[in-house]
């Protein structure tokens, strides 16, 4: 119908990323104001403000059950949040550059993060512990994702290549080359 249900206001700077939770009851927004907000879609109201980053939030993603959300920031960190309480659970520290993307795997056990430091990292989603650093790109990693089984990780890079890694062995199993310029998204 094209009908606008709600207009959400509350950030003090541009919104640069957003995502629905799996149940389509919440919308998360990430902003240049260093916060993320959770919005109730039925009521049109702010549910929580997630504060804990020291720089812009440019990536966010819910897990498949909708009880956790991760935010990635230009402060080089990813934060795991409890959606129900808005509480910070873990800060994932290890990248040496801005975060470009972050995602949970399907069973919510792992998190993959991509960074301007040319790497992607694998994390335990429950404990927040670093599991592995996946390297090999010559320029920034601009996007990362898991396949639907959680067995493979794909990366897209400013070097014009994509790579596929085995999530268990952490080995690169495919180098996808042929683009003439950067690859900004992978799915």
Give the pLDDT confidence score for residue 41 in this predicted structure: 95
What confidence category does residue 50 fall into, taking pLDDT thresholds of 50, 70 and 90? very high
Question: Tokens 């430091």 identify what position?
Answer: 117
Sign for the CA dihedral angle at 182, 69, 63, 26 comes to negative
For 70-80, how does the pLDDT look when each residue is reduced to its tens digit (9 = 90+)? 999 999 999 99
User: 54-58 long-range contacts, Cβ below 8 Å, gap at least 24?
Assistant: 55/98, 56/16, 56/31, 56/32, 57/16, 57/17, 57/30, 57/31, 57/32, 58/16, 58/17, 58/30, 58/98, 58/99, 58/100
Other CB atoms within 10 A of residue 19 CB? 16
Half-sphere exposure of residue 41, counting CA atoms within 13 Å on the CB side?
12
For 10-26, how does the pLDDT look when each residue is reduced to its tens digit (9 = 90+)? 999 999 999 999 999 99
What confidence category does residue 111 fall into, taking pLDDT thresholds of 50, 70 and 90? very high
Give the pLDDT confidence score for residue 1 in this predicted structure: 87
Q: Averaged over 137-165, what is the pLDDT?
A: 97
- Above 90 in pLDDT, residue 164? yes
Closest CA to 36 of 56, 8, 6, 64: 56
Worst-scoring range by mean pLDDT, 4-8, 65-69, 164-168? Answer: 4-8
Mean pLDDT value across the chain: 97
Percent of the chain having pLDDT more than 70?
A: 100
d(CA 24, CA 160): 34
Q: What is the CATH number of domain 15-137?
A: 2.130.10.10
List of residues 6+ apart from 103 with CB closer than 8 A? 61, 70, 111, 112, 144, 145, 146
Q: Averaged over 148-166, what is the pLDDT?
A: 96
Give the pLDDT confidence score for residue 91 in this predicted structure: 98
Residue 111 sits at the vertex; the CA angle it makes with 18 and 19, to the nearest 5 degrees, is: 10
């Amino acid at each position: 119908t094209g009908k606008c249900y709600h207009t959400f206001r509350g950030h003090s700077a541009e919104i640069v990323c957003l995502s629905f939770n799996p149940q389509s009851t919440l919308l998360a927004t990430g902003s240049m104001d260093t916060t993320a907000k959770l919005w109730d879609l039925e009521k049109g109201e702010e549910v929580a403000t997630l504060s804990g980053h020291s720089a812009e939030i440019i990536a966010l993603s819910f897990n498949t059950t909708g009880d956790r959300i991760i935010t990635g920031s230009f402060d080089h960190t990813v934060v795991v949040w409890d959606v129900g309480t808005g509480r910070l659970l873990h800060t994932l520290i290890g990248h040496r550059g801005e975060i470009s993307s972050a995602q949970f795997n399907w069973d919510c056990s792992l998190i993959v993060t991509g960074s301007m430091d040319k790497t992607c990292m694998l994390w335990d989603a429950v404990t927040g512990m670093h599991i592995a650093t996946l390297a090999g790109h010559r320029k920034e990693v601009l996007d990362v994702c898991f396949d639907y089984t959680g067995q493979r990780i794909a990366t897209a890079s400013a070097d014009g290549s994509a790579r596929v890694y085995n999530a268990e062995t952490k080995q690169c199993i495919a180098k996808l080359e042929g683009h003439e310029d950067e690859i900004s998204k992978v799915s």
